[in-house]
Structure 1
Amino acid sequence: MYRHKILLLILVLISLNVLAQKQKGFSVIAYYTGDSKKIDEFEINKLSHIIFSFCHLKDGKLSVDNAKDSTTIKYLVSLKKINPHLKIMLSLGGWSGCEPCSEVFSSADGRIGFAKSVKIVNDYFKTDGIDLDWEYPTIEGYPGHLYQQQDKKNFTALVKELRKVLGKKNELSFAAGGFQKYLDASVEWKEIMPLVDRVNIMSYDLVNGYSKITGHHTPLFGTKPAEESTDRAVQFLLNLGIPANKLVIGAAFYTRVWKGVENQNNGLYQAGEHTSGYDFKSYAKELTTANGWEYFWDNKAQAPYWYNKSEKKFATGDDLSSVRGKTKYALDKKLGGIMFWELTLDTNRDGMLHAIDKVVNK
């Protein structure tokens, strides 16, 4: 009996080791905006990274906004006792959270001061690194935020300073717009990529809230020439010689919705006015036939969309099928992984994260 138990234990350990080897090198990364309690609702054992979102610049230094956020970060770090392979990172900025970035990072003193503050904060919380979410260097991002031509070179200088100060111990990544204007204008790719662990490509919001025409906001492939897509961004960076294992693609756990959309082509590529959308966890309740929604699958884009004839509304986003497709694409292309915005938008069980995990560990 004792020998049987030992044998069973050995088999379990072997199975776990095989699983770990299969997952090695492929990251599943969650941006997280919740608190220290909500995280326990999710299956964090299926994640390689949690990126706390967001920290901000205060007097030129990386700042955790309040005591609640500090408590959350400390709790996230404590989860590593359960899963030693889990990485906890801090994210700077976000869509509306990097107003002073262009100015602060425009000087050597500003970059040095910020990099030192990142090391201090990481050392204090025992976090594993920083993800830069500056939207965007050189091109217009959040309305009213400063952007300058020199941002591109300043971003390179910032990454160099961070890597020098953080050394090899802490991870360094950045969130990149998945659209062509950003890819062309915002980053010196060949200078930066040797210094970072990965780039998290925001291959969502490719049709955003400012658009007056509907479309797929997070498609895997384009359906017509010059259409933004996940694959277009990936191929652009691969063609530059960026290593595939440093590219992470993004999934959206939410829809974007337009109203006033006429019933042509089931609402796809039609005029409309952007309005509030739905989180994945509310799909089953909101995006239903009972509520007037009809589901469609675009086989070329490998993306779902929904149209509501009675309300003249159009919805676009990822779902279980498209997120499985993105994960398989990332594995087939030997990319560094998949990330998503963001964990609290998922169902607690059997949702988007579960779908990703099933593909990674099939």
Structure 2
Amino acid sequence: MGVAERAHYSRLPPAGGSIPASSADSDFGTSPPSRRCRSLCLSIALLLLIASPIVTIFYINFFVIEHEDDDTALMYSDRAQIYSIEEFLNKDSSFTSSQKTAVDKSKSEPLKLVCYYNYPQHENNTPQLLPENIACDLCTHIIVAFASIKNNSLQLNEDIIRTITEIVELKKCNKELKILLSVGGAGDNDGFVDMVSNHTTRKTFIRSVKSFLTVYSFDGIDLDWEFPTVGFQKPGNHHNLLSANDNIRKVDKRQRQHFTQLLREIRMEYNREHKPYLLTVAVAAPSTIVDSAYDVEEMNKYVDFVNVMSYDFHSYTKYTPFTGFNSPLYNRKGEVLYFATLNINSTAHMWNNKGMDRNKIIIGLPTFGHSFTLVNSNNAAPGSPSAGYGKLGHNGFIDFIELCHFMNNTDNERIIFDNETASPYFVSGSEWISFENMESIVNKAKFIKENDFGGAMIYSLNSDDYSGACALKTDGKFYLTRYVNNALFDYDL
């Protein structure tokens, strides 16, 4: 209310009275008040009508779309309305009721068992897991790893194309099986960095993804970029967190934002084409990386689920020269501050507290272990000093099949189960190995169910006992993965 209006209403007489003409005229002129009010209202309405397009254009340009200096990346704002997939489908009348129902059901989806599979390299003469040796009912989702990015597009070599063709055959005996392609990996960050940098390069990538999904009949794409805004380039095929050979690389602090934009644009393209493709992301477990690398609440709007790499919590590095568990369920009493968060329980709840839906959190369980060389073989407790990697495995990584072969052929050994962390470790002389066995893997699968998380992720089928060659062969092939399957879905395999 304006000053003149407040002055006018303050002089109103009691009900039934009237304002003397002279008094009214002295304040407001000679026109009747109602006519003056109508004129004022019409003027304001006309002004708003003219100004509203200008205000809208100003808002879009300065708050929703930000033009960068060297590119035209589409930005998002907290004040801009960004639809999740559920909101998008409910607003879009072109979707059928059955499609809307399918999305509604996704809120109460059954548990998932997501299994990573590293494609075999045919120039490698060592024994490898082939697609035909994977049981079609072992996992609910199989993610083939890893495709790379070149010239802002998916790069597929002959080995991965051959694997893709063969892995799709598994759907013939399990129509419910979902198969995805993982892009990136720990040793392939450069292509990702260049691709996410602006809207044009992201568009090129999305076009290549759409083409791939159409040609090879895959169910979706998994993005494994380790990690936006974190300056480490890690060698090897494992989802490993740290290595003594880490190389520092220059990072752009806007990569976190660009990565979220990529997720948004992929989801929008899926929605535009009315395709039920899956969009998943392999994500870090330590809070220090999560805080700097991911906008969790925004990611939650666009991803179907995230595969949390809740392993490699402890491995030998020059910064951590002591023994520790690869994938502990809980922390030990002696672990405090940051080290107390390096476990499955803390990581899973942290992702949920930061904004990821509980049923979208798929918890990673490793089939590989980490080896250490003890400084003193008489001091073998968890946290004891280590002089380097163990003799077994490669750079501290040891596959389950190699470990069980070693355990079957050595007499001087001890296997201890740590109740605090629900994890076992193996000691033989100066060799100290953190690994998984039936008891630990079942405990972790039960934790997932009891806490209503979305399921388990296995990394990887290749490092499990896929041949059934161990003394545990009576339990069949894929020893660890089958125990997770059994615990999640409550039946014996």
TM-score bracket relative to the smaller structure: 0.7 to 0.9
Q: Whole-Å Cα distance in 2 between the matches of residues 204 and 330 of structure 1?
A: 15
What do residues 44-80 of structure 1 show as CA deviations (whole Å, max 9, x unaligned)?
A: 312111100000001111111x222111101111211
Contact 1:55 1:63 in 2 (8 A): yes
Q: Determine the structure 1 residue equivalent to 2:260.
A: 156
Contact 1:257 1:315 in 2 (8 A): yes
Q: Determine the structure 2 residue equivalent to 1:326.
A: 444
Q: Which runs of 5+ in 1 are unaligned?
A: 1-22
- Structure 1 residue 146 displacement after superposition: 4.3
Contact 2:132 2:167 in 1 (8 A): no
Determine helix, strand or coil for the equivalent of 2:462. Answer: helix
Contact 2:282 2:309 in 1 (8 A): yes
Quick one: which of 362, 368, 371 aligns to 1:257? 371
Contact 1:212 1:274 in 2 (8 A): no
Contact 1:92 1:98 in 2 (8 A): no
Q: Whole-Å Cα distance in 2 between the matches of residues 185 and 239 of structure 1?
A: 16
- Structure 1 residue 333 displacement after superposition: 1.1
Q: Moved runs in structure 1, 4+ residues, more than 3 A?
A: 34-37
Q: Whole-Å Cα distance in 2 between the matches of residues 121 and 49 of structure 1?
A: 18
Q: Determine the structure 2 residue equivalent to 1:287.
A: 407
Identity %: 25
Determine helix, strand or coil for the equivalent of 1:290. Answer: coil
Structure (1 or 2) with the greater strand fraction? 1
Q: Determine the structure 2 residue equivalent to 1:16.
A: none
Q: Determine the structure 2 residue equivalent to 1:198.
A: 305
User: Is residue 38 from structure 1 mapped to residue 112 from structure 2 by the alignment?
Assistant: no
Change (3 A) 1:116 1:78: same
Q: Determine the structure 1 residue equivalent to 2:55.
A: none
Q: Determine the structure 1 residue equivalent to 2:185.
A: 94
Quick one: which of 173, 197, 205 aligns to 1:114? 205
Contact 1:95 1:141 in 2 (8 A): no
What do residues 156-198 of structure 1 show as CA deviations (whole Å, max 9, x unaligned)?
A: 1111111122335110011111112112111000011121000
- Give the greater-gyration-radius structure (CA): 2
Q: Whole-Å Cα distance in 1 between the matches of residues 426 and 412 of structure 2?
A: 10
Quick one: which of 174, 178, 181 aligns to 1:83? 174
Q: Which amino acid is 1:207 matched to? A: H
Q: Determine the structure 1 residue equivalent to 2:33.
A: none
Q: Whole-Å Cα distance in 2 between the matches of residues 144 and 114 of structure 1?
A: 26
Q: Determine the structure 2 residue equivalent to 1:165.
A: 269
Q: Whole-Å Cα distance in 1 between the matches of residues 407 and 221 of structure 2?
A: 36
Q: Whole-Å Cα distance in 1 between the matches of residues 250 and 161 of structure 2?
A: 29
Q: Which amino acid is 1:302 matched to? A: A
Contact 1:102 1:151 in 2 (8 A): yes
Contact 1:30 1:341 in 2 (8 A): yes
User: Is residue 69 from structure 1 mapped to residue 172 from structure 2 by the alignment?
Assistant: no
Q: Which runs of 5+ in 2 are unaligned?
A: 1-107, 122-128, 234-246, 467-475
Change (3 A) 1:242 1:73: same
Which region of structure 1 is more displaced relative to structure 2, 66-75 or 282-291? Answer: 282-291
Q: Which amino acid is 2:368 matched to? A: Y
Count of residues in correspondence between the two structures: 337
Contact 1:261 1:313 in 2 (8 A): no
Q: Whole-Å Cα distance in 2 between the matches of residues 261 and 252 of structure 1?
A: 26
- Structure 1 residue 98 displacement after superposition: 2.1
Quick one: which of 337, 348, 372 aligns to 1:234? 348
Q: Whole-Å Cα distance in 2 between the matches of residues 271 and 86 of structure 1?
A: 45
Change (3 A) 1:208 1:252: same
Determine helix, strand or coil for the equivalent of 1:44. Answer: coil
TM-score for the superposition, normalised by structure 2: 0.65
Contact 1:264 1:270 in 2 (8 A): no
Determine helix, strand or coil for the equivalent of 1:193. Answer: helix
User: Is residue 243 from structure 1 mapped to residue 357 from structure 2 by the alignment?
Assistant: yes
CA RMSD of aligned residues (A): 2.0
Q: Whole-Å Cα distance in 2 between the matches of residues 324 and 126 of structure 1?
A: 33
Q: Whole-Å Cα distance in 2 between the matches of residues 206 and 288 of structure 1?
A: 27
